[in-house]
Amino acid sequence: MKGWFITFEGTEGGGKSTQIELLAARLRAGGRIIRQLREPGGTPIGEEIRHTLKHSPHNHAMTAEAELLLMNASRAQLVREVIRPALAAGEIVLCDRFYDSTTAYQGYGRGLDPQKVREIIEFAVGPTRPDLTMFLHVPQAVSEQRRAARNAATGPMRDRFEESDQAFFERVEAGFLAIAAAEPHRVKLITATAPIPAVSEQIWALVAPLVADKTA
């Protein structure tokens, strides 16, 4: 049985976590084994790196170059420790962010050399590539509203990336749109301002043909 690697991308507040849960439940109902992951993180080493990147009180002076390398250190561990073995076992891997986020956030957002970013990603992932990527797109105004509502509901938890200014997130959004335009066969743009069930159906319409021969 073939494994499939499906990633979810987009700026903050696009609903990636919610849609991954809904898709995972639907695939499990069809008899598939699902592995849900997130980046940075997904392994003990990766989760420590995640804390350093996002939540540590000591990360204010982190440079863009250090950020890029830490992201890909976490990714290299995740690919070899979890993703490749899961795919080899026939599982469907659903990952909340993967290397497209690095291209968008560290490449476009931080302004790092695109060639250097690509080279470091290549070193981290080797031949491991997503079969399908869902780009959940919301305008920046909607992203900001959703992030504010989430923080009000769950309580503030410092996230170094969310401390970036609006211009940064505009560059990140432009990066994701450029990626989607360059790789339309893999990256599917989903209008994530629609109601949750409607977004879920858009996603299922893309995933179902991919796994049709393996699901009930």
**CATH number of the domain bearing residue 41:** 3.40.50.300
Structural domain for 138, as ranges? 4-214
What is the Cα–Cα distance from 216 to 214, expressed in whole angstroms?
7
Model pLDDT, residue 215: 45
Looking at the 3D structure of the chain, how many domains does it have?
Answer: 1
Question: Is there a contact between 30 and 112 (Cβ–Cβ < 8 Å)?
Answer: no
Phi/psi for 21 (5° steps) reads -60, -45
Mean pLDDT by 10 residues, the chain (216 residues): 92 91 97 97 98 95 98 98 98 98 98 98 98 93 68 70 90 96 98 95 96 60
Q: 83-120 burial, b if ≥16 CB within 10 A, otherwise e?
A: bbebbeeebbbbbbbbbbbbbbbbbbbbebeeeebeeb
Positive or negative, the CA dihedral 160, 164, 168, 169 is: positive
Task: Give per-residue pLDDT as tens, 4-14.
Answer: 999 999 988 88
Model pLDDT, residue 152: 63
Model pLDDT, residue 14: 86
Task: Give per-residue pLDDT as tens, 172-203.
Answer: 999 999 999 999 999 999 999 999 999 999 99
Phi/psi for 29 (5° steps) reads -65, -25
DSSP 91: P
Model pLDDT, residue 216: 40
Question: Is there a contact between 120 and 71 (Cβ–Cβ < 8 Å)?
Answer: no
Question: Is there a contact between 215 and 27 (Cβ–Cβ < 8 Å)?
Answer: yes
Model pLDDT, residue 153: 64
